[in-house]
């Protein structure tokens, strides 16, 4: 999966982490602030992209206390407008245009640099315009993806001028884009927690905690 030592080189990579909204299936808690293995989910994701030139969290100001120095935060308008609007908000505050943008969910406890390196290589060593992780069921995980920045900007611009971004989903964003599917399940070690695993429910959090304890042991 690459050596995982660096996923960026200066400003050629930016990361946008989507961390907005309260999870109804978690009792309305701020999901990215929930803890797995002693560390909030959002902090775990940000650590995986520490090599990026810029990191932006798209979420409410309650998350400010979790953010390491240098990490930017913004919020989509209107709040809760969906992932495409959130990505657009993240792009708008980047200090410079990178070559590649990582788009990540804020609830991925086991994403790591090695996985991101693999997804990035699938993009940059091909004619693809975006690369997305695919889980063990063959389903694309759009919150674990890399995009060429110019393509991401172009697609957001196109959607924005054809009805606006509010409520738009990732399938609409990816329409017509050349996609490299990265079948991480074929590279994943069976005993390791899946890097695409996200935490939507209390059961998910319990399972993640068990995995985290197992890894620590």
pLDDT in tens, 107-152: 999 999 999 999 999 999 999 999 999 999 999 999 999 999 999 9
Q: What is the mean pLDDT of residues 150-172?
A: 97
Which pLDDT does position 30 carry in this prediction? 83
Question: Which of 11-15, 157-161, 208-212 is least confident?
Answer: 11-15
83-to-86, 118, 156 alpha-carbon distances in Å: 5, 23, 11
Structure tokens at 39: 């560390």
- Split at pLDDT 50, 70, 90, the class of 1 is very low
Which pLDDT does position 192 carry in this prediction? 82
**Domain residue spans in the chain?**
13-216
- Split at pLDDT 50, 70, 90, the class of 38 is very high
Q: Under a CB-based contact definition with an 8 Å cutoff, are residues 193 and 184 in contact? A: no
Q: pTM of the full predicted structure?
A: 0.92
The reply to whether omega before 78 is within 30° of 0 (cis) is yes
What is the dihedral sign for C-alpha 21, 88, 143, 138? positive
Which pLDDT does position 26 carry in this prediction? 55
Question: Which of 48-57, 180-189, 196-205 is least confident?
Answer: 180-189
Structure tokens at 129: 């315009």
- Please determine, for residue 8, whether its predicted confidence score (pLDDT) is greater than 70: no
Structure tokens at 116: 């991101």
Q: Of 24, 27, 94, nearest to 57 (Cα)?
A: 94
126-to-44, 131, 170, 204 alpha-carbon distances in Å: 29, 10, 22, 34
Average pLDDT of the chain to the nearest whole number? 91
Query: What is the fold, at CATH topology level, of the domain defined by 13-216?
Result: Spore Coat Polysaccharide Biosynthesis Protein SpsA; Chain A (3.90.550)
Q: What is the mean pLDDT of residues 34-55?
A: 96
Q: Under a CB-based contact definition with an 8 Å cutoff, are residues 56 and 106 in contact? A: no
């Amino acid at each position: 999966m690459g050596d995982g030592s660096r996923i960026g080189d200066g400003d050629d990579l930016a990361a946008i982490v989507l961390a907005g909204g309260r999870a109804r299936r978690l009792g309305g808690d701020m999901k990215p602030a929930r803890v797995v293995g002693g560390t909030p989910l959002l902090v775990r994701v940000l650590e995986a992209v520490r090599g990026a030139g810029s990191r932006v969290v798209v979420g409410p100001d309650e998350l400010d206390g979790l953010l390491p120095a240098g990490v930017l935060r913004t919020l989509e308008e209107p709040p809760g407008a969906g992932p495409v609007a959130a990505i657009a908000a993240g792009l708008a505050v980047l200090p410079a245009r990178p070559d590649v943008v990582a788009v990540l969910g804020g609830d991925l406890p086991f994403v790591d640099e090695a996985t991101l390196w693999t997804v990035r290589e699938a993009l940059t060593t091909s004619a693809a315009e975006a690369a997305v992780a695919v889980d063990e069921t063959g389903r694309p995980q759009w919150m674990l993806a890399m995009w060429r920045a110019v393509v991401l900007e172009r697609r957001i611009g196109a959607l924005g001028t054809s009805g606006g971004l509010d409520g738009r989903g990732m399938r609409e964003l990816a329409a017509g884009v050349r996609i490299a599917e990265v079948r991480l399940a074929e590279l994943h070690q069976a005993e390791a927690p899946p890097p695409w695993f996200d935490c939507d429910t209390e059961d998910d959090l319990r399972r993640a905690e068990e995995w985290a304890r197992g890894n620590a042991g």
